[in-house]
Chain A
Amino acid sequence: MNDLARYVALDVPSLLAILSMMAVTYGTRVAGFLVLRNRSLSPRATAVLEAVPGAVLISVIAPAFTTTNPADLAGLAVTLAMACRFPMLPTVIVGVAATALLRHVL
């Protein structure tokens, strides 16, 4: 397969997944405008909706916390410590470098 074909490869399941993401996301954008514009949500409902992104993101990375590999655990600890204080780019660079180093050493 030449480079161009690899760059523009598009299979049907992937396209369907992408289109379903588009439909769902645009739905959330329009629904708030159309349905909620004349109503006010209770503070409780608002608080729950605001908690959604954080709960999702944490759940997605939870498997990383179940590892029993000491190198991966130590790398995770370094990444977590960095994430508490530093911006995205340094956290990613240090987290990746520390994990790579620990995997070679431990």
Chain B
Amino acid sequence: MTATVHPDDAAPEGVVIKGAAPDEGPGRSVSTEFRRGLAAMMPILLGVAPFALVLGSQAAMKGLSPLEVALMCGLNFAGGSEFVAIELWRSPPQIALIAGMTLLVNCRHLLMGAAFARHLRSLRPWQAALVLFVMADETWALGMDDARRRMAATGRPGISLPYYAGLAVSLYVAWVAVTVAGAVVGPVLGDPHAYGFDMAFTAVFLVLVRGMWKGWRRALPWPVSLGVAAVTHLLVPGAWYVPAGTLAGLAVAYVVAGHETREAAP
């Protein structure tokens, strides 16, 4: 790298990446950083695309139009809550139930946003607002990882905005485009029940839960949630089994975490 060149010379339109690591030097222009973000997201997109296809086709089977699928995925942009919303979707949708479950599924954003905060402090408010709008599991994980590396190099917190933009644009475009494709193609396949397509949802959720495995103890809420939700489903009409099972699982998580904290104490 030609470290003698001032960063301004290399960056297009004189834009310098704010807080760029000195050892990353010049040449790390906005467009280079943006492309680095696009590239970093590519392998993840391979894993995300099948989920998006399944989500789009299930949404279409629940009666959502491709435009409605695009709006949901583009405005909400949080896959887990979209799967839950589609599973609970009736015509017309029960808005309070869907909003409440969306809140529960996306509670983890509170932790993610809190962890991200120190790296966003130097941004202007509108920049931080945009960064947070596209903060999903994948963009957050890669963005945090990059910010940690930069901090190790420079000693200062802060994200590379163009890198993060590259991550976000690729994930956002892929998520909305592929779910809409699923919504257009899905209904062509016909009645889902006759072919076993209704099992797709269960399969997706089981794989998602498997990915959250962090040992037996952290999995203790799962059988409790399953049991309470199943019994509630049999006894109580409507979709109350979801909050009932969720809260039962969280009660177990609360007790388990209490044991862990006590054991950790000397």
Contacts and interface: CB of A to CB of B under 8 A. Distances in A.
Nearest to A43: B261
A27 B76 CA distance: 11
B102 interface: yes
A62 B223 CA distance: 10
Nearest to A16: B95
B25 interface: no
Contacts of B201: 61
B117 interface: yes
Nearest to B118: A37
Interface stretch (B141-149, B163-171, B204-212): B204-212
B226 A30 contact: no
Contacts, number: 306
Given A29-B132, A51-B221, A79-B203, A21 B111 contact: no
Size band of the interface chain B makes with A: 35 or more
B103 A24 contact: yes
B61 interface: no
B8 interface: no
A2 interface: no
Interface string A7-36: 111110111111111111111111111111
A98 B196 contact: yes
Nearest to A14: B68
Contact of A56 (B51, B101, B132, B264): B101
A91 B72 CA distance: 26
B103 A28 contact: yes
Interface string B85-104: 10111011101001101111
Interface residues of A, number: 79
B195 A96 contact: yes
B184 to A, nearest CB: 7
B225 interface: yes
B203 A20 contact: no
A56 B246 contact: yes
Which 8 pairs across A and B sit closest by C-beta, in order of nearness?
A: A32-B113, A59-B245, A55-B249, A99-B196, A37-B117, A100-B196, A62-B229, A36-B114
Interface of A: 6-11, 13-37, 39, 41-44, 46-66, 75-76, 79-80, 82-84, 86-89, 91-92, 95-103
Interface of B: 47, 50-51, 54, 64-68, 71-72, 75-78, 80-85, 87-89, 91-93, 95, 98-99, 101-114, 116-118, 120-121, 128-129, 132-133, 135, 184, 194-210, 212, 218-219, 221-222, 225-226, 228-230, 233-234, 241-246, 248-250, 252-254, 256-258, 260-261, 264
Given A24-B106, A101-B196, 5 more contacts: A14-B68, A21-B85, A21-B102, A54-B209, A96-B200
